[in-house]
Structure 1
Amino acid sequence: MLLALGFPQWNLVLLAWIAPIGWLMLVQAPSLPKYSYRILYLSGLAFWLIVLVGIGNAHIATRLLGWPVLSGYLAVYTPIFVLFCRPLVHRFRVPIPIVAPLVWTALEYVRAYFATGFSMAQLGHSQVDLVPLIQISSVTGAYGVSFLMMLTTSLLFMAVPKPESIVGNAPQASGAMRGGWIAAALVLVFAWYNIGWNWETTGYQLTAADDVEPVIPGGRPVLIGLVQGSIDTQFGDPTQAQRTYDQYAGLSDELMAEWKRLDLIIWPETTMGPYMPLELTKDFAPPADWNASADVVRPKIELTASKFRTFVRDLAVQRWHTPLLLGTSVVRYGNQRVDHFNAAIHVDREGAIVERYEKVHPVMFGEYVPFGDMMPFIYDLMPIGGGLTPGEGPVVIDVEGVHLVPCICFENTVPQLVAGQLRELDAAEQRVDALVTLTNDGWFYGSGILDLHLMCARFRAVEHHRPMLVAANTGISAVIDAQGTVVEAGPRQQTALLVTTVSPTSRPLSVYTTYGDWFAAGCTWLSLPLALIGLWLDRRARRVVRSSPAEEPSSV
């Protein structure tokens, strides 16, 4: 519960450093009080229910299924942390300041990958506004911030006087030793902050709508407009799609009336409303339940697809005279199947659709349900029936020589996904100048989920040494520099127009981009196997103790 106050909407970030002390007490205790693990689970459940409450705002299925099921799963990690730390401390005699940060980081790493992963609200995310502290992420990912926080808290914990029920027969630490633990914690934080401050002040900066000298000779900055509308998601409202498009078109009119010429206009996820591109595969055949032949259906689909291309060409060429990056749905008609994609399309200055990125990581319970293919009836209960088809990989959006890499919705909350895409592009010798997120956060009705989402965007910027532009329906749209500082941000549940410049850069990729989750993986291999061995040995020892009175003396 205390940890929840360190996150939006309270942001009492100091409490995030204090909250683990109670868990460390249970780690050090010689024996645990009855029901300790149950209480730990309930406290973890309370944290996640509070922090993720906004997930259930858009639809009754996410309120009754997605929010409690996801929170119930994530709550497991709190008792597991104590469970895995105890054998390392008591059986293998590893000090708590070593054990706690290793195990905590390992469990955050597991959480990021298990069941497609969930990396929101990591411990380190709570410190996002202390920008120097998060610069370590360019080497370790956000996991490094969590590690150093838990290390600092563990050092301070060692200095705290403890009741006999916690220390057992062990002597209390002397005053000098307590002073040493406190000094170690202070030196750690001081060094951590100052190293991060040096990285921050010498790094690549992004400015809002000012002239910026291009880093690459011959290149030039491009001027980009982010359009933020405010349409809360309401499933079952037949007017919402058209209202969404109309609002964004009107805001874009305002944007161009003020700026006259831009190099790109960006709309958030799925804001094209009822207008979407259709695609036919070469082996197209209608599904059997259509009761129509390909010769009848194909011309109708091709006509609709042609009308869409004409529609967006008119927007780019005649209405705004500007290239566009638009969030939209895409429907692909294949061989007796229909695939739906969440996509971003790039329309160039001549009105041609030149690039398309299809979301590769659908959101659990929002866009897909685990095991939904085996139990398709579940999709009848979900807001997006049938689920979405994942895309194939990253795409570079070339805007007058500046290379943008888009992600959609919660993809920027998955650190290994973004890092993997940038490594893939680097292997193909495609330069990346900035990251872009197109998201529709109208699902969450202005709740703290918007803040958690923005936190993740800021960490992705730091991790990869690249600016991040966020175009978000209902907010929070943002211009974020490569150090994770929010240069400019839109309001919550209001419309906004943001304009910024982005320059081509020759800055090399970060350590984290190049090597991925090396740090968190190392913590995992250093701690979890030994913890599991310790648990197995403890269980075997208890079994021997229980069975020993009934056993015959050994003949050996």
Structure 2
Amino acid sequence: MNNGPPEQGRSEAVRTARMAEMNATVVEPSNPVVMPRTVDRSAHEIIASARTLKTQQRSRASGRPALGLSLLSAVLLWASFPPWNWSPLAWLAPVPLFLLVRLREPTRRMYLAAYLGGLAFNLPALQWLRLGDPAMYVAWWALSAYVAAYFPLQLWLSRVAVYRWSVPFVMAAPIVWVSLEFAKAHLLTGFAWYFLGHTQYRWLELIQISDVVGAYGISFIMAASAAALASLVPESWFARLRLLPPPADAAAQADLQTRVAEAVMPSRRWPVFAAVSLVALTLVYGFVRRGQANFTPGPRVALIQGNFVASLRIPPEDFGLQYNTHMRLTALAVREQPDLIVWPESMFRWPLTNAPAGLSEDELQKLAPRVPPDFWRDTSVRETLVQEAQKTGAAMIYGIECVDLQTDGKIQQANSAVMFRPETGMSGRYDKMHLVPFGEYLPFKKTLPWLQAFTPYPSDFGLHPGARPVVFEHRDWRMLPVICFEDTVPHLVRNFVAAGSGQGGEVDLLVNLSND
């Protein structure tokens, strides 16, 4: 009995009648000779092939194994970074994701599974964003949602390279990986955090080649090694992991190997040999470079860290506590007779103000009606910073907010580093150039003004980026300040050093001010 819907029954009847008609005999009226109707076998083969293809599409493997592999990559990658810092796991982290590239037939919802894997890594990795303010939870999720998209992008672009452009798998996967790291470092002002190569910061011999290829080169070596490992996984494992649809018959079972990309390789051995050789040559270079190092004595530097939460809203009554804590630590550091003392980012809580010279109180009030003129004329902050440098007998670099009144009445706020020397007072100021999205400026503020409602900032929020890098000089040393995560953006720091070296000599050291 046919329990299906009436339409289905009629369709089956029509198909049965047509098949019967094709197999029927034909009697010509003028010649009572029975002639069999011939059938075009090639047409039958085409129809059968189309039906087989449709059946295969309907019987795609479940997306759960793909989700499991994506989550495994996320967990391995997260464990490679602080707080766990199990950096050897980073060499294995891309392997599960790369296995999905080898699948000729994608599983169900494979790209969604990869995106969820990206979220599983980025949400815990970027959770520190929420510490600044309760409203920063939105920024945490927004940034995580954006960066998570690089997981499915890695998968999709690698598959396009392998199956559409016939690029060998062991070449396509690492090239796409590094290309996406490069893109992430530049798009939306750049977010160059959590590169694969960053996990190896303690393996000094390996990372010496960064002076030639940067962190991207380390990421490429690691991704190429992971791709070589992924190419070793036999086809039978894909069936065991249920990444392939169940074969319909013995012929389909024999066709198993064609459903897993062989990466257009004549052998699996040479990718492994190439990866091992690449790592070995990198280590040889590292040992040679470390043996050539001839460091000259530099300044004695004291780094002060009071370990206060980097919150957006600090009660004014806490300013004194934070100041006294850093001063107490500074006094302890003076015993070691440092040449330079560095405070963290924004840890001198009172702002350093600047206004056009020669303006009367009435003119200041007219330019900035909401700000008392005494705010611009107050010199107590500048005097305090000079006095502290004189007490320590060392140059001091402070993290501080600078507030500038422009001649057109605009008030610009900057996240700054200022240097004060005992002999000359203030000798340099650098304003942070590479601002943090959502933390220091609101992206798409003019295009999507409704985003303002999801932030803890007033309508006029937004720090002003600096115009250029600045070199601080003290005695015979030339120092280049960078603030917080600016030091994670490769092209930014490289341009800083190039610009600083063109201002009168080589840069001797980088000084990073951070409170993370």
TM-score by length of 1: 0.70
The aligned residue for residue 551 of structure 1 is none
1: CA distance, partners of 2:485 / 2:424: 29
Q: Retained in 2: the 8 A contact 1:286–1:336?
A: no
1: CA distance, partners of 2:115 / 2:179: 18
The aligned residue for residue 264 of structure 1 is 340
2: CA distance, partners of 1:154 / 1:284: 66
Q: Retained in 2: the 8 A contact 1:29–1:167?
A: no
Q: Retained in 2: the 8 A contact 1:284–1:333?
A: no
The aligned residue for residue 401 of structure 2 is 329
The aligned residue for residue 249 of structure 1 is 327
Match of 2:223 among 135, 150, 155: 150
SS in 2 for 1:331: strand
Please give the per-residue CA displacement for 1:361-391, whole angstroms capped at 9, x wherever unaligned. Answer: 1111111110224556755754554121111
Q: How does 1:430-441 map to 2 (within 5 A)?
A: 430-441=505-516
One-letter amino acid of the counterpart of residue 142, structure 1: A
One-letter amino acid of the counterpart of residue 407, structure 1: V
The aligned residue for residue 484 of structure 2 is 409
| CA apart distance, 1:321 | 2.7
| CA apart distance, 1:107 | 0.7
Q: Retained in 2: the 8 A contact 1:100–1:150?
A: yes
Q: How does 1:439-478 map to 2 (within 5 A)?
A: 439-441=514-516
Q: How does 1:16-415 map to 2 (within 5 A)?
A: 16-63=90-137, 65-163=138-236, 165=244, 167-168=257-258, 177-205=267-295, 213=296, 221-234=298-311, 235-256=313-334, 258-259=335-336, 261-274=337-350, 276-281=351-356, 300-304=374-378, 306-317=379-390, 319-334=391-406, 335-373=408-446, 378-379=451-452, 382-383=455-456, 385=458, 386-415=461-490
2: CA distance, partners of 1:70 / 1:248: 32
SS in 2 for 1:228: coil
| CA apart distance, 1:244 | 1.3
User: Rg bigger for which structure?
Assistant: 2
TM-score by length of 2: 0.75
1:6 maps onto 2:83 in alignment:
no
2: CA distance, partners of 1:282 / 1:338: 15
SS in 1 for 2:341: strand
| CA apart distance, 1:22 | 2.2
SS in 2 for 1:55: helix
1: CA distance, partners of 2:445 / 2:421: 38
Return closer, same or farther for 1:284/1:82 CA change in 2, 3 Å cut-off. farther
2: CA distance, partners of 1:303 / 1:278: 8
Q: Report the number of matched residues.
A: 420
After superposition, the CA RMSD in angstroms is 2.9
SS in 2 for 1:410: helix
Please give the per-residue CA displacement for 1:169-189, whole angstroms capped at 9, x wherever unaligned. Answer: 57979xx94444433332222
| CA apart distance, 1:360 | 0.9
SS in 2 for 1:273: strand
Q: Retained in 2: the 8 A contact 1:161–1:172?
A: no
| CA apart distance, 1:394 | 0.8
One-letter amino acid of the counterpart of residue 251, structure 1: L
One-letter amino acid of the counterpart of residue 289, structure 2: W
Return closer, same or farther for 1:40/1:391 CA change in 2, 3 Å cut-off. same
2: CA distance, partners of 1:350 / 1:313: 9
The aligned residue for residue 14 of structure 2 is none
One-letter amino acid of the counterpart of residue 435, structure 1: L
1: CA distance, partners of 2:270 / 2:491: 38
The aligned residue for residue 524 of structure 1 is none
The aligned residue for residue 13 of structure 2 is none
**Unaligned 5+ residue runs, structure 2?**
1-73, 245-255
Return closer, same or farther for 1:187/1:294 CA change in 2, 3 Å cut-off. closer
1: CA distance, partners of 2:395 / 2:119: 46
| CA apart distance, 1:7 | 1.8
Q: Which has the higher relative contact order, 1 or 2, with Cα contacts under 8 A spaced 6 or more apart? A: 1
**Unaligned 5+ residue runs, structure 1?**
206-212, 215-220, 442-556
2: CA distance, partners of 1:184 / 1:151: 9
